Amino acid sequence: MNDYSDMFAAELTGWNALRYTQRGVAPSVTEGPFTIERHVADAVAVLDQHGVAAATVLGHSWGGYLAMQLTARAPGRVAALVLAEPLGAVGDGGMAAAGAEFTARATPEALARIAELDALTPTSKEQETAVALEYFRLDWPGMFAVPADAPPVPANVQVNPEAFEQTSASIAEAVERGDLPGLLSGFTGPVEVVAGQRSPFPLDAAQSTAAVFPDAHLTVVPGAGHQVWHEAPGSVAAALRRIAVRLA
Q: Which CATH number fits domain 5-247: 1.20.1740.10, 3.40.50.1980, 3.30.930.10, 3.40.50.1820?
A: 3.40.50.1820
Domain ranges of the chain: 5-247
* pLDDT (average), residues 180-206: 97
Percent of the chain with pLDDT over 90: 95
Please state the rounded mean pLDDT for residues 174-182: 97
Contacts of 237 (CB under 8 A, 6+ apart): 10, 11, 12, 13
User: Average of pLDDT values for 206-228?
Assistant: 98
Give the chain's mean pLDDT. 96
pLDDT at residue number 1: 86
Residue 36 has pLDDT above 90, yes or no: yes
Q: Of 131, 134, 155, 147, nearest to 7 (Cα)?
A: 155
- What is the spatial order of strands in the sheet that 78-84 belongs to? 55-60, 78-84, 191-196, 216-221
pLDDT of residue 5: 87
6 has a pLDDT exceeding 90: no
How do residues 55-100 score in pLDDT, each as one tens digit? Answer: 999 999 999 999 999 999 999 999 999 999 999 999 999 999 999 9
The DSSP bridge partners found for residue 195 are 220
